[in-house]
Amino acid sequence: MDGGNQSGESGFLLLGISEIPEQQSVLFWAFLSMYLVTVVGNVLIILAITSDSRLYTPMYFFLANLSFTDLFFVTNTIPKMLVNLQSQNKAISYAGCLTQLYLLVSLVALDNLILAVMAYDRYMAICCPLHYTTAMSPKLCVSLLALCWVLSVLYGLIHTLLMTRVIFCGSRKIHYIFCEMYVLLRLACSNTQVNHLALIVTGCFIFLTPLGFMILSYVWIIRAILRIPSATGKYKAFSTCASHLAVVSLFYGTLGMVYLQPLHTYSMKDSVATVMYAVVTPMMNPFIYSLRNKDMHGALGRLLLGKAFKRLP
């Protein structure tokens, strides 16, 4: 594993956050609990939306896809992490590491783009309510989602292919919970300037542009809400986008803690921030979207009560 100049075919060691056995046991149960809560929460959101015709609207269509993305995202990283916490063999193959990296990068980008599309949906609903139904047609919603998937797949493919050009030498120990872009680049002994340039250029397009779009959308949304004469109307309008605003803040806040820093300052202390965006954010999203959402409460109630009544003789 600690051999000379190789492209990485011998694989890596995913050491995780801690190598102390007592801490690993605590971490195992903590991550298992969070994973189960994330899976159950996001599956319930998807089932509630797909089983209730009242929620066949653009907002819930994108929310169901966001939950699917979060579900896929945690399944890409946490099961392997749980196995490593319980096993003496913490190796991950070179192909396995690149696959994990590709899915991780693609799904983070997809999460971000779906949040941007959801901001556009809220803008149309609040700023252009008379044209909302025709503007946010099913065809447009599917097209926007397809565009998000295409851009995310290309984004992940670019960075994964560039990573195959990187030469690794010396230690292959990754003190992290998964194969992460910055960590792998720090292990490289070849020139990674192309990788850094690609991260900056594509990052501006995939992350900063949608963020700017979301900020602009909310500026117009807030202006429209302030024009509403009644306090009740203002509260009702703001409540429809408060959940989305909370998720965007959580997503960019945790992501910024990890990536808004130079590569040479990137250290293992960033593992905590990584856990926040990779584990905690997907776990919290279902709670945020269903906490004060009466439509979601009703759909979840009908879903769960319907299942309970079907079991009765």
Residue 277's pLDDT is: 75
Tokens 């899915």 appear where? 103
Give 12-260's CATH code, choosing from 1.10.3720.10, 3.40.30.10, 3.30.300.130, 1.20.1070.10.
1.20.1070.10
- Where are the domains positioned within the chain? 12-260
Kindly state the average pLDDT of the residues 246-251: 86
SS3 (DSSP) at 13 = strand
**What span, in angstroms and rounded, lies between the C-alpha atoms of 45 and 31?**
21
**What span, in angstroms and rounded, lies between the C-alpha atoms of 63 and 141?**
12
Strands 91-92 and 12-14, sheet pairing: antiparallel
Give the pTM: 0.88
pLDDT score of 19 more than 80: no
Strand-pair partners of 6: 168
Strand-pair partners of 188: 168
Q: What are 116-161's pLDDT values in tens digits?
A: 999 999 999 998 888 898 989 999 999 999 999 999 999 999 999 9
pLDDT score of 269 more than 60: no
Q: What percent of the chain has pLDDT over 70?
A: 87
Kindly state the average pLDDT of the residues 181-200: 86
Identify the sign of the CA torsion 218, 224, 227, 233. negative
Answer whether 289's CB lies under 8 Å from 247's CB.
yes
- Cα 170 to chain centroid distance, Å, stands at 32
pLDDT score of 264 more than 70: no
**What span, in angstroms and rounded, lies between the C-alpha atoms of 290 and 304?**
14
